[in-house]
Amino acid sequence: MNTQHSSQFLMQNYARFPITLIKGEGVRVWDDEGKSYLDFVAGIAVNTLGHAHPEMVKTISEQAATMLHCSNLYFNPWQNELAEKLAMLSGLDKSFFCNSGAEANEAAIKLARKYFHDQGKAKYTVITAVQSFHGRTMQTIAATGQDKVKQGFAPLPQGFKHVPLNDIAALEAAIDDTTAAIMLEPLQGEGGVNLANIEYLEAVRALCDEKGILLMFDEIQTGIGRCGSMFAFQKAGVSPDILTLAKGLGGGVPIGAMMATDKVAASLSAGSHGTTFGGNPMSCAVALTVLDVIAKEELLANVEARSKQLIAGLQNIADAHSIFDEVKGDGLLLGLAANIEVAPIVNACRENGLLILMAGPKVLRFLPALNITKDEVAEGLDILGKSIEGLNL
Ligand X SMILES: Cc1ncc(COP(=O)(O)O)c(C=O)c1O
Report the residue number, 185 or 330, with the smaller CB distance to ligand X: 185
Q: In angstroms, rounded to a whole number, what is the distance separating the alpha carbons of residues 20 and 348?
A: 17
Q: In angstroms, rounded to a whole number, what is the distance separating the alpha carbons of residues 342 and 346?
A: 7
Report the residue number, 283 or 387, with the smaller CB distance to ligand X: 283
Annotated catalytic residue 133: yes
185: contact with ligand X by CB under 6 A: yes
Q: What is the CA radius of gyration of the chain?
A: 21
CB of 297 to ligand X, least distance (A): 24
Report the residue number, 109 or 381, with the smaller CB distance to ligand X: 109
Residue 50 DSSP SS3: coil
CB of 100 to ligand X, least distance (A): 4
Catalytic pick from 160, 217, 218, 241?
A: 218
Annotated catalytic residue 116: no
How many Å is the maximal CA-CA distance in the chain? 63
Annotated catalytic residue 319: no
Report the residue number, 227 or 388, with the smaller CB distance to ligand X: 227
Residue 136 DSSP SS3: coil
Run of H or E residues at 238:
none
246: contact with ligand X by CB under 6 A: yes
102: contact with ligand X by CB under 6 A: yes
Tell me the window of 13-21, 58-66, 100-108, 283-291 that interacts with ligand X (CB under 6 A): 100-108
CB of 229 to ligand X, least distance (A): 17
Q: In angstroms, rounded to a whole number, what is the distance separating the alpha carbons of residues 305 and 307?
A: 5
Q: In angstroms, rounded to a whole number, what is the distance separating the alpha carbons of residues 321 and 137?
A: 39
Write the CB contacts of 327 (distance below 8 Å, at least 6 apart in sequence). Answer: 311, 314, 315, 318, 334, 335, 336, 337
Catalytic pick from 247, 328, 330, 362?
A: 247
Q: In angstroms, rounded to a whole number, what is the distance separating the alpha carbons of residues 202 and 237?
A: 8
189: contact with ligand X by CB under 6 A: yes
Tell me the window of 2-10, 77-85, 215-223, 334-342 that interacts with ligand X (CB under 6 A): 215-223
134: contact with ligand X by CB under 6 A: yes
133: contact with ligand X by CB under 6 A: yes
Q: How far apart are the first and last CA of the chain?
A: 39
290: contact with ligand X by CB under 6 A: no
Q: Which of 50, 135, 223, 250 binds ligand X (CB under 6 A)?
A: 135
Closest residue by Cα to residue 44 from 196, 192, 252: 252
Strand order in the sheet with 363-366: 324-330, 333-338, 363-366, 357-358
Tell me the window of 96-104, 172-180, 208-216, 372-380 that interacts with ligand X (CB under 6 A): 96-104
Catalytic residues: 133, 218, 247
Write out the residues near ligand X by the rule CB under 6 A: 44, 100-102, 105, 133-135, 185, 189-190, 218, 220-221, 246
